[in-house]
Amino acid sequence: MVRWHLAMIFGNTAFTVGDIEPIVSALQRLLKDESVFVRSWAISSLCLIGRRDKRRRRKIIDATRALQHDKSIAIRVRAAKALRALQNESEALSAGWSKV
């Protein structure tokens, strides 16, 4: 439950800290979590970061692309939505991903 909520919070607070690299690294580790909820929110948070920070976008796209064949359909769907949003600026983010 804590990891799940951290994954949600990190994407929405990443830009209030000076260096977001530790947040991006933590979220990338959470992409490998056993919980589908944790992994799905890590994808969403990384997408939010990638949309705002073009320097990190390629790394986030690569990490998200690796989830396209995940065993969970929920993860595959969330990864596909995130990839569309990261690769096309005019693509709207899914409602509910941003909590601010």
Enumerate the domain spans of the chain: 2-87
How far apart CA 17 and CA 1 sit, in angstroms, is 24
| pLDDT tens-digit map of 57-90 | 999 999 999 999 999 999 999 999 999 999 998 8
57-73 as b/e, with b when 16 or more CB fall inside 10 Å? beebbebbeebeebeee
32: pLDDT strictly greater than 70 = yes
Average pLDDT over residues 21-45: 95
State residue 41's pLDDT score: 96
pLDDT attached to residue 97: 79
What is the structure's pLDDT at 15? 72
- Average pLDDT of span 20-27: 92
- Write the DSSP symbol of residue 34: S
pLDDT of 98 higher than 80: no
Confidence at residue 49, expressed as pLDDT on a 0 to 100 scale: 93
Question: What's domain 2-87's superfamily in CATH?
Answer: Leucine-rich Repeat Variant (1.25.10.10)
Confidence bin at 100 (pLDDT 50/70/90): low
